[in-house]
A and B are shown apart, each in its own frame.
Chain A
Amino acid sequence: MNLLWYDWLFVIVYIVFVFYSGSIVKKYIGGISDYLVANRGMQFHLGLLSLMCTEIGMITYMYFAELGYKTGFTALIVGIPPFLVFLFLGKTGFIIKPLLDMKIMTLPELFEKKFTKGVRFYAGVLMAIGGILNFGVFPGVEAKFVNIITGISEKNLLATMIVMLTVVLIYTIFGGMVSVLVTNYLQYALLSFGMIFITIVGILKIGFPNIINAVKTGMGERGINPFYPSAFGSDFGVEFILWQLLGWTALLTSWQAVAMRIFSSKDTKTGRKIFTWSSLMFFSRAILPIFWGIMAFAYLGKVDDSITALPLMLVKIIPKGFIGIIFAALLAASMSTYSSYLLSWSSVISEDIIGTIVKNVFGKDLKSKTRILISRITMGVIMIFIIWWSLFYGIGDYLFFYLNMTITLFVPGTLIVVVFAIYFKKKSFGIFRARNLGAYLAFTLGAFPTIWYFFPKHPVVGRLGTLAYLLALVGMIAGSVVANIVKPLKADEEG
């Protein structure tokens, strides 16, 4: 066992504390808008904190550290696109301002408003599939991490997954967004301490000169220059950067876990401010764990499974007596990510898929309480699925690429459709005016590169990812032009 009795004690006290604070805020939950978006009462710092908690989990550390471990300083380029995109969106209000002004809870709601229920349903289905496939590898990877840190045998992977997810499920189900906000506060305090602590201890123990030398001798120019051997065709080349810039623009508006945080903001100004300042936070969110991976390479040298390099290094460099705190910090990061993702994807399924079906069959909306109940049942089902997926799906690629490609199933279509829904719905656009057929085609064509990714022979992911956005754009324009020619709208008609 790597954890001593007082380490375990710290972890247990922390979990109990989180549960307790989650349960005392239960009384604040009124209707579905309290449950899903905390009644839109979130102010700037809390919003930023909550966004960071959602987007930093053990999985984040694992996939970034794996990149750093395998590709050295080159991987640090990954931190730059989110920085630029967040700053641009926050400052200009492009896409996000109109979305915040509309006061919607999920993006598919916008599709219903601007297109039809059918588009909302279709988007919801793709989002749910992509999101859950993405989420599906979390438990396996994280349980591996937990087992190495704690010293629990690898044989008990399933048991670790079940315990972790059960804890998260219980507190998410009974709290919703308000509870997530309160527990996020505690979790952020702990996880930020953990991140700073690991980086400083690592630098002090290993030293910058040794890290640089290890990368230089072990990887050569490949570990330092992202455009090596050529700007096009390398894993982190121009296509990768373009894909990431588009991906982040899309993610910030179409990634339900992020969008929900923004939709929970008190007002439009707060939402934009959260975006602007997140640029720096998302930059650090990538850079620090990638650097841990580079440190692990310098400290450990070759390990059998690159995904395990980070926990193996942590067990060795964290001083005795601190491992319990660091473990609780990492667990904290994960719990908030899990709870937010469970809440996000279950809300897409319950609101956009089941809600749409019920409305079509019975002709009326579900009651608020029934919607919460469906959302909770959906969470349970998602949890069972992701445990199964974690056990049976083997990731052959970098974890980072798998996670990015699974969300590319719906993200390109979403970005293009959102942009057209907001900016190209006016009559003055003539045959280019956004239409339902365009939306369906954008989603469908944009999803193809992800399907291609799951085949053994495929181009570099940067190229696949960029292609997805191009196809979605072509689909949107072609579909709209055809619809406008074949069935033009009357002067006052929407569609």
Chain B
Amino acid sequence: MRILIDFWVFIVLTALFSFTIMSLLIVYKAYFELKTMLKGMEKSEKGEE
């Protein structure tokens, strides 16, 4: 029981830590990607008919 509880606590803390780090990274980097994508679409020809 004790070892299982320690394992679950470890799982929760790992999830919290990795989610925090990755979210910060993603929000920062996705900003530039979004800008590039919209710029690219503005230049490209629209419509496919």
A residues with CB within 8 A of B: 25, 27-34, 38-39, 41-46, 48-49, 52, 73, 76, 79, 178, 181-182, 185, 188-189, 192, 195-196, 199-200, 208, 212, 216, 221, 224-225, 277, 280-281, 283-284, 287-288, 291, 367-369
Where chain A touches its partner, the secondary structure class is helix
Render B23-43 as a binary contact track against A, CB cut-off 8 A, 1 for contact: 101110111011011101110
Q: How many CB-defined contacts (below 8 Å) exist between A and B?
A: 121
A208 to B8, alpha carbons, bound, how many Å?
Answer: 11
Contacts of A291 in B (CB 8 A): 12, 15
B49 touching A181 by the CB < 8 A rule? no
> Contact at B47–A196, with CB atoms within 8 Å?
no
Q: Shortest beta-carbon distance, A167 to chain B, in Å?
A: 22
In the complex, which residues of chain A have a beta carbon less than 8 angstroms from the beta carbon of B8? 73, 76, 224
Residues of chain B with a CB closer than 8 A to A224's CB: 1, 4-5, 8
Please name the residue on chain B nearest to A191 by beta carbon. B23
Give Cα distance in the complex from A212 to B23, angstroms. Answer: 28
- Given the interface pairs A30-B46, A281-B22, the reply to whether A287 lies near B12 with Cβ below 8 Å is yes
Contact between chains at B19 and A49 (CB < 8 Å) = no
Residues of A close to B46: CB separation below 8 A:
29-31, 34
> Do A79 and B36 touch across chains, with their CB atoms under 8 A apart?
no
What residue of chain B has the Cβ atom nearest to residue A212's Cβ? B5
Interface residue from B4, B22, B49 paired with A277 (Cβ < 8 Å): B22
Residues of B within 8 A of A38 (CB): 37, 41
Q: Which of B4, B9, B22 counts the most A-chain CB atoms under 10 A from its CB?
A: B22
- Taken together as a complex, chains A and B put the C-alpha atoms of A31 and B41 apart, in Å, by 12
Listed residue (A46, A195, A200) with the most chain B CB atoms within 10 angstroms of its CB: A46
* Given A73-B4, A196-B19, A368-B48: A41 in contact with B27 (beta carbons within 8 A): no
Q: How far is the CB of B49 from chain A (nearest CB, A)?
A: 5
- Evaluate contact between A284 and B19: CB separation under 8 angstroms: yes
Chain A residue numbers with a CB within 8 Å of B34 are 46, 181-182, 185
A218 to B18, CA, bound (A): 30
B6 to chain A, nearest CB (A): 10
Cβ contacts under 8 Å, B25 to chain A = 45
Closest chain A residue to B23, Cβ basis = A192
> How far, in angstroms, from A224 to B2 measured CA to CA in the complex?
9
Expressed in whole angstroms, the minimum distance between the Cβ of A334 and any Cβ of chain B is: 18
